[in-house]
Amino acid sequence: MNERTLNLAVILGSTRPGRNGAGVAEWVMQKAADRTGARYELVDLLDWPLPHMDEPIPPVMGQYAGEHTKAWAAKIAEFDGFVFVTPEYNHSTSGVLKNAIDYIYAEWNNKAAAFVGYGTIGGARAIEHLRGVMSGMQVAHVSQQLSFSMFTDFEDWSSFTPGPQHDEAAGTLFDQLEGWSTALKTWRDA
């Protein structure tokens, strides 16, 4: 495939005031900037204020009524894969991220996803929850994940200061995501 033929989203799954996810997503975008095989775009859910699910017909039918839903569907349809940056709230992902995922269906299908979590135990439980959700959306998720601990990767629980040990794992995450996204793009295009 030609250079930068993949269009991948880094979806920031927190809208909380004072959120720690902004620093994590910025770090992911900095690491992604050096990639030559894909274009990464930050999709901040703060910029996509979707109300609680208000579609009258299940998203699997693809008959979206709301203009906000149609705009969100068009945005997600642009991408070949996703990096979900998720906090861990009460052993799960954020409500705003789950709501954004649930709004649409076909626009997620047959694409790839990777996960970056943060929390007291690195967002591991939120990531595991998202793996199940993405399976239901027919999204292939890669094995490599990034988990950032509030104890070791944040100064004073607010300033994101990850150690260099995360760099190699980030490279593996991008390699896996781009590989699977390429394969699924080829399959979708066929």
Predicted confidence at residue 1, as pLDDT, reads 44
Domains recognised in the chain with CATH numbers = 6-189 (3.40.50.360)
Predicted confidence at residue 4, as pLDDT, reads 53
Burial class (CB in 10 A: 0-12, 13-18, 19+), 33: exposed
Predicted confidence at residue 5, as pLDDT, reads 84
First-to-final CA distance of the chain = 14
Greater pLDDT, 3 or 42: 42
Model's pTM, two decimal places?
0.96
**pLDDT tens sequence across 8-64:** 999 999 999 999 999 999 999 999 999 999 999 999 999 999 999 999 999 999 999
**Dist. CA 165–CA 68, nearest whole Å:** 40
Predicted confidence at residue 2, as pLDDT, reads 46
Encode burial over 133-150: b for 16+ CB neighbours within 10 A, e otherwise: bbeebebbbbeebbbbbb
**pLDDT tens sequence across 54-113:** 999 999 999 999 999 999 999 999 999 999 999 999 999 999 999 999 999 999 999 999
Look-up of token digits 């626009």: 107
Greater pLDDT, 163 or 4: 163
